[in-house]
C-alpha cells in the first residue's frame, strides 16, 4: 500500500514571504526544496489591514499580465478587474508574471495602489499552488463546456465557464470526485460560493468565503446534487450561474491526495487541550471554519509561524492584518508531523460539540511513498 504519491509537498505548494519596496517590479522567489512555478497565487499584506489591503488572488487560467488586472479578492464580492480609483489596467499594482520558482509583483502608478502587494514598509505572504503550467483544455463532460487546467496528481483544477442562467453541469477534469468547489463570478459582483463535502456530501449547503456566515441550505448554487468523478452541478443562483456582465466564472476544485492534501471536518471540544485532527502529513497550510455559526475563516501556515504554538493567523473573509497578539480571540494550532491540534478554547475554531471544516496542504507526508516514516522536523 502506498502511503503517498507526493514525498515533497513543496513540489505543488509553497509559501513565500517578502517586504514591499515600491519598486517598479520585485521578483518573489521560493525557499522550498523544489522549484515551483505557480499557477494560483493568493497574496495578503501581513502587517497592515483595512482599505487597500485586501487579499489578492491570481491564476494562469484567467491570465497573468503586466498590463491587465485580473485580481480577485476573497474578502469581498468585487468582480475581476480594476481596483478602486484605478482608471486603467496599467495603473494597478499586482502579480504581473509567474516565474520558474515564484512570481513577480509590481507597483501601481496611483499613490498607495501597490499596497496590495508591494508597498514599502509592508510585509506580505504569498501562497502558491502548481497546477499545469497554465496549459488548459476544453472539457465537454458537462452541459456547459468548460475550460480546465488540471493537476490530477495534486488533485486540483481551475475551471472557467460561461453561465447560461439555467440548471447545468460543469466538467471539472479531475480524476476523482471533488470534495471542495469554490466558485467566483468574474464579470459581475458575486460572492465566493464554497461547497465542502464534509458539511454536505450532496453540496446542498454552502458557505460564502467573503463573509463569516454559517453554512446555509441553497439548492440554487450546486442544486443539492452530489458531484461525480466527471462533473458537478450548478443551479441558477447569481453566485454560480448568472448571465449578468457576460456571465464569466472561475471555480477551484479539489479532492484529497493521501499524504499531500486533506479536506475534512472535526468536532471541537472547547478546551485548551483541543481536538487533534489527523491529516496523514505535516501541514504547510490550513484554512478552517466553524459550520453552524457566524465565525471567521482562519488561515495558518508553517512559514509565517514555523514553531508551535502557531499563533499567526490571517482571516480570509476580512482584510485585517495578521494577528499574533496571544489573546483569547486567537486561533492557536500545533502543527504536527501527522496533523494539527487546536490549542485554544476559541469559539471560532474549537467550540465544544460544534463541527468545523478545514482544507490542508502538506509540507511533507507522515509516511513516505516507500512506507518509511519521515524524520521529525
pTM of the entire predicted model: 0.94
What pLDDT, on the 0 to 100 scale, is given for residue 82? 55
Write down the H helix ranges in the chain: 219-222, 238-241
What is the model's pLDDT at position 1? 39
| Cell matching residue 246 | 457576460
Each residue's pLDDT tens digit, 156-167: 999 999 999 999
Burial class (CB in 10 A: 0-12, 13-18, 19+), 1: exposed
**Nearest Cα to 351, choosing from 278, 265, 281, 263?**
265
Q: How confident is the model at residue 117 (pLDDT cuts 50, 70, 90)?
A: confident
Q: How far apart are CA 297 and CA 316, in angstroms?
A: 5
| pLDDT bucket at 376, cuts 50 / 70 / 90 | very low
169 touches 175 (CB < 8 A): no
Other CB atoms within 10 A of residue 162 CB: 16
Lowest mean pLDDT among 43-52, 100-109, 117-126, 325-334: 325-334
pLDDT at 124 > cutoff 90: yes
Q: Determine how many CB atoms are found less than 10 A away from the CB of residue 5.
A: 13
pLDDT in tens, 147-157: 999 999 999 99
* pLDDT, position 373: 55
- The yes-or-no verdict on residue 71 having pLDDT over 80 is yes
Mean pLDDT check: name the lowest of 86-90, 213-217, 229-233.
Answer: 86-90
> pLDDT tens across 270-323, in order?
998 999 999 999 999 999 999 999 999 999 999 999 999 888 899 999 999 998
| Spatial separation of the C-alpha atoms in residues 186 and 133, rounded to whole Å | 21
DSSP 3-state assignment of 9?
A: helix
Give the list of residues 6+ apart from residue 335 with CB closer than 8 angstroms, or none.
Answer: 282, 283, 286, 300, 302, 308, 310
Residue 12 pLDDT exceeds 60 = yes
Return the ∠ at Cα 300 (arms to 295 and 302), rounded to 5°: 170
Tally of residues, the chain = 377
Query: How far is residue 179's CA from residue 252's CA, in Å, rounded to a whole number?
Result: 11
Cell numbers standing for residue 290: 466553524
The sign of the dihedral angle between the CA atoms of 319, 75, 46, 345 is positive
What is the model's pLDDT at position 371?
58
Instruction: Compute the mean pLDDT over every residue in the chain, rounded to the nearest whole number.
Output: 89
What pLDDT is recorded for position 2? 45
Q: How much is the pLDDT for 11?
A: 92
Instruction: Give residue 162's pLDDT.
Output: 98
Q: Phi, psi (5° rounding) for residue 123?
A: -110, 150
**Residue 114: helix, strand or coil by DSSP?**
helix
Amino acid at each position: 500500500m502506498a502511503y503517498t504519491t507526493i514525498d515533497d509537498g513543496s513540489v505543488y505548494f509553497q509559501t513565500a514571504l517578502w517586504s514591499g519596496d515600491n519598486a517598479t517590479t520585485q521578483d518573489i522567489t521560493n525557499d522550498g526544496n523544489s522549484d515551483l512555478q505557480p499557477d494560483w497565487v493568493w497574496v495578503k499584506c501581513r502587517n497592515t489591514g483595512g482599505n487597500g489591503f485586501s487579499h489578492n488572488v491570481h491564476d494562469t487560467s484567467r491570465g497573468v499580465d503586466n498590463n491587465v488586472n485580473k485580481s480577485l479578492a476573497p474578502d469581498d464580492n468585487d468582480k475581476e478587474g480594476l481596483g478602486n480609483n484605478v482608471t486603467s489596467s496599467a495603473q494597478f499594482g499586482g502579480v504581473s508574471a509567474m516565474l520558474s520558482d515564484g512570481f513577480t509583483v509590481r507597483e501601481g502608478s496611483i499613490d498607495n495602489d501597490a499596497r496590495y502587494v508591494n508597498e514599502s514598509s509592508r510585509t506580505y505572504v504569498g501562497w502558491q499552488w502548481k497546477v499545469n503550467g497554465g496549459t488548459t483544455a476544453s472539457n465537454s463532460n458537462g452541459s456547459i463546456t468548460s475550460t480546465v487546467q488540471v493537476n490530477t496528481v495534486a488533485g486540483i483544477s481551475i475551471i472557467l465557464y460561461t453561465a447560461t442562467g439555467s440548471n447545468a453541469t460543469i466538467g471539472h477534469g479531475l480524476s476523482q470526485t471533488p470534495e471542495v468547489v469554490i466558485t467566483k463570478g468574474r464579470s459581475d459582483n458575486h460572492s465566493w460560493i464554497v461547497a465542502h463535502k464534509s458539511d454536505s456530501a450532496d453540496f446542498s449547503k454552502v458557505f460564502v468565503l467573503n463573509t463569516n456566515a454559517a453554512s446555509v441550505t441553497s439548492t440554487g448554487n450546486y442544486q443539492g446534487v452530489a458531484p461525480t468523478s466527471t462533473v458537478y452541478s450548478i443551479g441558477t443562483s447569481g453566485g454560480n450561474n448568472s448571465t449578468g456582465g457576460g456571465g464569466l466564472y472561475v471555480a477551484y476544485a479539489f479532492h484529497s491526495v493521501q499524504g499531500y492534501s486533506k479536506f475534512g471536518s472535526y468536532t471541537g471540544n472547547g478546551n485548551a487541550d483541543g481536538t487533534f485532527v489527523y491529516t496523514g502529513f505535516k501541514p504547510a497550510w490550513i484554512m478552517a471554519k466553524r459550520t453552524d455559526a457566524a465565525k471567521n475563516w482562519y488561515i495558518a501556515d508553517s512559514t509565517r509561524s514555523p514553531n508551535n504554538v502557531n499563533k499567526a493567523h490571517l482571516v480570509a473573509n476580512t482584510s485585517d492584518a495578521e494577528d499574533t497578539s496571544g489573546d483569547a480571540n486567537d486561533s492557536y494550532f500545533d502543527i504536527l508531523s501527522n496533523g494539527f491540534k487546536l490549542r485554544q478554547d476559541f469559539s471560532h475554531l474549537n467550540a465544544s460539540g460544534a463541527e468545523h471544516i478545514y482544507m490542508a496542504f502538506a509540507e511533507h507526508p507522515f509516511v513516505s511513498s516507500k512506507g518509511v516514516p519521515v524524520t521529525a522536523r
